[in-house]
């Protein structure tokens, strides 16, 4: 009898446990587990209603305007019949850094509220009477981009120097009053000799920026090839450095080991760079050393050849905080992680009398993967020591970080009483029944 | 001693019975919970699939305008942002409607996108994207089934209210309610006995119950015409069409797209599709193509062999070419014995508000989940709805029964 009583107690406990489980473990209703994604439905509905900016225009009209009635009808029509909605428009009032939302008007097909099962999407509408403009400050100085048709590039795999030149022009020309494409080595020779080459009255050879879009190769004019051919044209690189110093240029190398090759498809038509690219001759590490000596011509008044390997390979490098900021500021979004195999060491600052500025990447192993080296006198050298294939947005970012042109953002309203210029639209949806 | 033994036996049997009972009860609760979890997963999958389809253009990006093999499935208009769909990608989807063989008994089958009376859109089955292909590219073959329907949000129904002079009744409805106060903009193409088209256009407005009337200088009993009516209100745009003619000389001329990538279209004698008996009439035809401009109006586009004659013997089709990538529609008027008929073929789903139904049949699946989005195709507002179900687990029916 005792065992039976014990078992009965066990059964009672199990029954209580089951009832308790059933009481607390309430399964959700089918509506809850398989409801359409109302948030996305609300968002897509708002977008459909804003076709041809109809919604944006309507929410800036007075609540008595007929457009609100049309909006209400369109909203009711476009949603399934079991859907209840509430569309509320808020004024956005900005006071300093604080934005206050004040309800402007609301339309709804329910007076009893939504209960707990509702979703909402928001949509920002700008008054049709408002115009936003973005005007970049112009960097003083002419932008020259080497686009020489008689030169080949190296370490720009998948691109040509000419295509990169076009990309660079698109990226950078808004920040300059004058952009000049150097179309061939003859024009480049004229430029090196201090002559203006475009006929543009605003072109100025001094204080210019010269971007070499040919990667590790640099175009060489025929007369310069004849005159400065020592040490596999390292002497030419020295002359380039001198010109950068003389005209106070900023020379930009977009990828790899700068001045490693010189290129002229006519002059070197029978030569190749030892990798099968004709029209190009290998200079080697001495090219960069010679250029930097030319840049620091005050301490290196005459050409003196050496062949030190300057660059190093720090591997993966990441954006500096400053680079993140300017990436957002200028709207340039290359990957913040890059691989560097041709980074310049910090010791070149002392050796060649330069100062590293506007570093795009954090230093790794005491090396700068992308930075501008400003000479103590005149001239500067922006070196992007990343591995191929080049992302010219890095070059553009490095240059813009160095010059830091201001972006002027303007907002114009036709009439003061049109303010606020933005209104927030919130569409809340819920389904009737099914619970 | 006997009493104790009986006590043990009764207690043991009662305990075993209770354990079995409660195990079953708890198992039922657990099973229900697992089912709900699986169903919730299907609902999430439905939304994911729908967004994947609507927010990617697929690859090649312009696959809707070519007959290239797909390597990635998506319906977004290339270059467009958000839920804007390609009118041409939708055209390549294999419809669930019955296929059409052309010419008869040739073994060449055409995807039949249903358009209602006097509307035709036939595309080669080989150029159409099968559901199995899309399912495989979406990575759900064998795990989930789906059916996608793309339908206009605004339904514009056109009926003849009065014959002479012609008054047409336009009724505009959305899924939720009628569109009162909607602006109606119409383009009516009237064909004379020489099959020349005359355009009548104008505007009107719907009343408080979403109905508008168009007064037209036509005889609704005898005249041959096709009318397209745009209805717009508060950003919503819909389109309806209606064709009227009296033609008793067979089924006339039916357009077939024979080379999708080249835009090559056969204007086929209907005898090659379905024998209507003897005598088989000869047809003179006039085909006119109109493209949809960015403002939603229609502009005529010259096409090759736009006029000619067809018979069922030596000349049973004519060839014309439509511009690839330009949404529009082709109006074909044909004549025999003084009677003039008319047919319409869209070029791009959005040009005349065609609906699309693509995918598998959900029959036999107890639990399906539905999700929907509002999308744009060409100028029109559409609703994209997906029904999704699981092909694994419980509540699936196969030929041998449920499992």
pLDDT one-digit tens code per residue, B202-214? 999 999 999 999 9
Q: Kindly state whether residue A332 falls inside one of the protein's structural domains.
A: yes
Closest chain B CA to residue A23: B29
Q: Say if residues B377 and B85 touch (Cβ distance below 8 Å).
A: yes
Q: What is the pTM of this model?
A: 0.68
Residue A316 in contact with partner chain B when CB distance is under 8 A: no
Contact B181 A69 (CB under 8 A): yes
DSSP A272: B
Cβ neighbours of B43 in A, within 8 Å: 33-35
Contact assignment for B153 to A41 by CB distance below 8 Å: no
Q: Which two tokens stand for residue B358?
A: 């693509």
Residues of A in contact with B33 (CB under 8 A): 25, 27
* Residues B271-275: contacts with CB under 8 Å, at least 24 apart: B271/B312, B271/B316, B272/B102, B272/B103, B272/B104, B272/B312, B272/B316, B272/B317, B273/B100, B273/B102, B273/B103, B273/B104, B274/B104, B275/B104
What is the chain B residue with the closest CA to A3?
A: B11
Which of A3, A34, A35 is nearest residue B11 as measured by Cβ atoms?
A: A3
Least confident range from A89-98, A234-243, B138-147: namely A89-98
Instruction: Give the mean pLDDT of B184-211.
Output: 94
Both tokens of residue B55? Answer: 């927010």
Chain A residue closest in CA terms to B182: A70
Phi, psi of A402 (to 5 degrees): -75, -45
Say what the pLDDT of residue A238 is.
Answer: 97
Within a domain: residue A410?
no
Q: Looking at beta carbons, which residues of chain A come within 8 Å of B176? A: 76-81, 83
Nearest to B254 by CA among B283, B223, B229: B283
Whether A41 and A129 share a structural domain: yes
Tell me the per-residue pLDDT of B304-350, one tens digit each, with 9 for 90 and over: 888 999 988 788 899 999 998 889 999 999 999 889 999 999 999 88
Q: Which residues contact A31 (CB under 8 A, 6 or more apart)?
A: A117, A431, A433, A434, A435
Interface of A with B in 83-122 (CB under 8 A): 83
Read off the pLDDT band of A300 (50, 70, 90): very high
Q: Is the pLDDT of residue A272 over 70?
A: yes
Do A78 and B374 count as a contact with CB atoms less than 8 A apart?
yes
> Which of 31-90 (A) contact B at CB < 8 A?
33-37, 40-41, 44-45, 47-52, 54-55, 58, 66-67, 69-81, 83
Task: Based on the fold, state whether residues A189 and A81 are members of the same structural domain.
Answer: no
Residue B111: strand pairing partners = B123
What are φ and ψ of residue A292, in 5° steps?
-65, -35
pLDDT in tens, A46-68: 999 998 889 999 999 999 999 99
Q: What is the pLDDT of residue A130?
A: 72
Full residue range of the structural domain in which residue A82 is found: 2-133+415-431
Residue in A22, A28, A66 closest to B36 by CB: A28
Residue B392 has phi, psi (to 5 degrees) of: -130, 160
| Chain A hits for B22, Cβ within 8 Å | 14-15, 18
CA distance B333 to B242: 14
Which residues in A lie closer than 8 A to residue B184 (C-beta atoms)?
Answer: none
> What integer best gives the mean pLDDT of chain B?
89
How high is the pLDDT of residue B393?
Answer: 63
Tokens read off for B315: 């000349």
Tell me how many residue pairs between chain A and chain B have CB atoms under 8 A apart. 151
Answer whether B374 sits within 8 Å of A48, measured CB to CB: yes
pLDDT given at position A116: 65
Chain-chain contact of A74 with B47 (C-beta, under 8 angstroms): no
Per-residue pLDDT tens for B8-66? 888 888 888 888 888 888 888 787 778 788 888 888 999 999 999 999 999 888 898 88
A226/A266 same-domain check: yes
Contacts of B10 in chain A (CB under 8 A): 3-4
Q: How many domains does chain A have?
A: 2
Report whether A318 contacts A265 (CB < 8 A).
no
Å between A223 CA and nearest CA of chain B: 48
CA distance A430 to chain B (A): 14
Distances (CA, A) of A361 to A97, A328, A343: 31, 15, 10
In chain B, domain spans: 87-390
Residues A160 and A243 in one domain: yes
User: What DSSP string runs through A374-407?
Assistant: EESSS-EEEEE-BPSSP-HHHHHHHHHHHH-PPE
Assess whether A340 and A209 both reside in one domain.
yes
Is the domain of A117 the same as that of A162?
Answer: no
Neighboring chain A residues of B374 at a CB cutoff of 8 Å:
41, 44-45, 47-48, 78
Using a CB-CB cut-off of 8 Å, the residues of chain B touching A25 are: 29, 33
Residue A435 has pLDDT above 60, yes or no: no
Out of A107-111, A407-411, B158-162, B350-354, least confident range: A407-411
Burial status of residue B52 (CB atoms within 10 A of its CB: 0-12, 13-18, 19 or more): middle
Q: Which of B177, B179, B235 sits opposite A51 (nearest CB)?
A: B235
* Cross-chain Cβ contact B176/A83 below 8 Å: yes
Q: Do A80 and B10 touch (CB under 8 A)?
A: no
- pLDDT, chain A, mean: 89
Q: What CA–CA distance (Å, rounded) separates B270 from B276? A: 8
Asked whether residue A39 falls in the same domain as residue A169, the answer is: no
Whether the predicted pLDDT of A38 surpasses 50: yes
> Best residue in A30, A47, A77 to probe B by mutation, most B CBs within 10 Å?
A77
Burial of A288 (0-12, 13-18, 19+ CB in 10 A): buried
Residue of A nearest to B40 (CA): A33
- Same domain, yes or no: A175 and A286: yes
> Which residues of chain B have a CB within 8 Å of the CB of A81?
175-177
Window from A16-30, B178-192, B367-381 with minimum mean pLDDT = A16-30
Return the pLDDT at B150.
95
Mean pLDDT of A377-394: 93
Residue A185 sits in the same domain as residue A209: yes
Smallest Cβ–Cβ distance between B43 and the set A33, A49, A77 belongs to A33
| Tokens linked to A14 | 């199990």
A202 sits in the region (left: phi over 0; alpha: psi -120 to 50; else beta) called alpha
CB contact under 8 A, B15 and A7: yes
pLDDT tens by residue, A354-365? 999 999 999 998
| Pick from A34, A51, A83: CB nearest B39 | A34
Residue A344 clears pLDDT 90, i.e. is over it: yes
Lowest mean pLDDT among A221-230, B3-12, B393-402: B393-402
pLDDT attached to residue A237 = 96
Closest by CA position to B159, among listed B172, B150, B144, B169: B169
């Amino acid at each position: 009898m005792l065992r039976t009583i014990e078992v009965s107690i066990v059964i009672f406990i199990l029954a209580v446990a089951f009832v308790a489980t059933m009481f607390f473990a309430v399964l959700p209703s089918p509506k809850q587990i398989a409801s359409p994604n109302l948030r996305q439905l609300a968002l897509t509905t708002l977008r459909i209603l804003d076709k041809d900016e109809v919604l944006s225009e309507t929410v800036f009209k007075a609540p008595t305007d007929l457009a609100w009635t049309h909006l209400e009808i369109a909203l009711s029509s476009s949603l399934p019949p079991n859907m209840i909605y509430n569309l509320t428009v808020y004024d956005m009032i900005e006071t300093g850094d604080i934005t206050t939302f004040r309800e402007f008007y609301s339309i709804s097909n329910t007076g009893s509220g939504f209960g707990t099962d509702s979703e909402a999407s928001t949509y920002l509408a700008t008054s049709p009477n408002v115009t936003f403009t973005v005007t970049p400050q112009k960097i003083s100085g002419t932008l020259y981009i080497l686009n020489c048709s008689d030169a080949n590039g190296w370490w720009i795999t998948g691109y040509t120097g000419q295509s990169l030149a076009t990309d660079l022009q698109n990226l950078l020309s808004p920040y300059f009053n004058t952009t000049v494409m150097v179309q061939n080595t003859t024009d480049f020779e004229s430029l090196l000799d201090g002559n203006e080459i475009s006929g543009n009255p605003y072109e100025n050879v001094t204080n210019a920026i010269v971007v070499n879009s040919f990667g590790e190769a640099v175009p060489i004019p025929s007369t310069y090839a004849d005159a400065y051919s020592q040490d596999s044209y390292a002497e030419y690189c020295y002359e380039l450095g001198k010109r950068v110093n003389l005209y106070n240029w900023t020379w930009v190398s977009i990828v790899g080991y700068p001045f490693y090759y010189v290129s002229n498809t006519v002059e070197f038509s029978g030569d190749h760079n030892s990798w099968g690219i004709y029209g190009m001759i290998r200079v080697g590490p001495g090219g960069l050393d010679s250029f930097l000596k030319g840049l620091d011509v005050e301490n290196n008044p005459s050409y003196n050849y050496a062949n030190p390997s300057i660059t190093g390979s720090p591997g993966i490098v990441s954006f500096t905080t400053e680079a993140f900021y300017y990436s957002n500021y200028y709207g340039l979004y290359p990957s913040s992680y890059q691989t560097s195999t041709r980074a310049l060491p910090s010791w070149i600052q002392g050796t060649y009398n330069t100062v590293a500025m506007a570093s795009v990447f954090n230093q790794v192993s005491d090396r700068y993967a992308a930075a501008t080296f400003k000479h103590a006198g005149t001239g500067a050298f922006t070196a992007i020591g990343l591995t191929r294939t080049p992302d010219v947005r890095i070059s553009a970012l490095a240059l813009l970080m160095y010059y830091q042109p201001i972006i002027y953002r303007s907002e114009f309203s036709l009439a003061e009483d049109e303010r606020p210029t933005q209104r927030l639209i919130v569409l809340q949806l819920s389904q009737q029944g099914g619970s | 001693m006997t009493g104790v033994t009986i006590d043990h036996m009764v207690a043991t049997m009662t305990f075993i019975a209770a354990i079995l009972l409660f195990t079953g009860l708890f198992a039922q609760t657990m099973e229900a919970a697992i089912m709900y979890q699986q169903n919730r997963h299907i609902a999430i999958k439905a939304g994911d699939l729908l967004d994947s389809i609507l927010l990617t253009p697929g690859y090649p990006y312009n696959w809707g305008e070519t007959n290239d093999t797909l390597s990635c499935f998506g319906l977004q208009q290339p270059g467009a942002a958000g839920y804007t769909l390609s009118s041409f990608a939708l055209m390549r989807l294999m419809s669930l409607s019955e296929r059409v063989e052309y010419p008869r008994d040739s073994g060449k089958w055409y995807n039949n996108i249903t358009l209602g009376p006097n509307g035709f859109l036939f595309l080669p089955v080989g150029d159409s994207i099968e559901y199995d292909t899309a399912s495989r590219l979406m990575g759900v073959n064998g795990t989930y089934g789906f059916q996608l329907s793309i339908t206009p949000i605004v339904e514009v129904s056109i009926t003849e209210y009065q014959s002479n002079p012609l008054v047409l009744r336009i009724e505009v409805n959305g899924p939720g309610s009628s569109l009162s106060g909607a602006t109606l903009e119409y383009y009516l193409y009237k064909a004379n006995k020489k099959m020349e088209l005359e355009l009548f256009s104008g505007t009107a407005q719907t009343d408080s119950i979403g109905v508008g009337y168009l007064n037209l200088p036509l005889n609704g009993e005898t005249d041959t015409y096709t009318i397209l009516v745009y209805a717009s209100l508060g950003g919503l745009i819909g389109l309806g069409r209606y064709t009227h003619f009296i033609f008793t000389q067979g089924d006339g001329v039916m357009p077939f797209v024979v080379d999708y990538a080249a835009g090559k279209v056969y204007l086929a004698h209907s005898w090659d599709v379905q024998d209507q008996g003897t005598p088989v009439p000869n047809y003179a035809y006039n085909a006119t193509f109109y493209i949809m401009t960015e403002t939603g109006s229609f502009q005529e586009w010259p096409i090759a062999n736009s006029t000619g004659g067809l018979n069922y013997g030596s000349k049973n089709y004519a060839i014309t070419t439509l511009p690839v990538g330009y949404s529009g529609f082709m109006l074909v008027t044909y004549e025999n014995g003084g009677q003039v008929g008319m047919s319409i073929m869209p070029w791009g789903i959005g040009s005349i508000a065609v609906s699309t139904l693509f995918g598998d049949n959900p029959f036999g699946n107890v639990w399906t989940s539905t999700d929907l989005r509002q999308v744009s195709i060409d100028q029109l507002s559409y609703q994209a709805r997906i029904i999704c179900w699981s092909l694994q687990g419980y509540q699936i029916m196969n030929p041998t029964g449920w499992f």
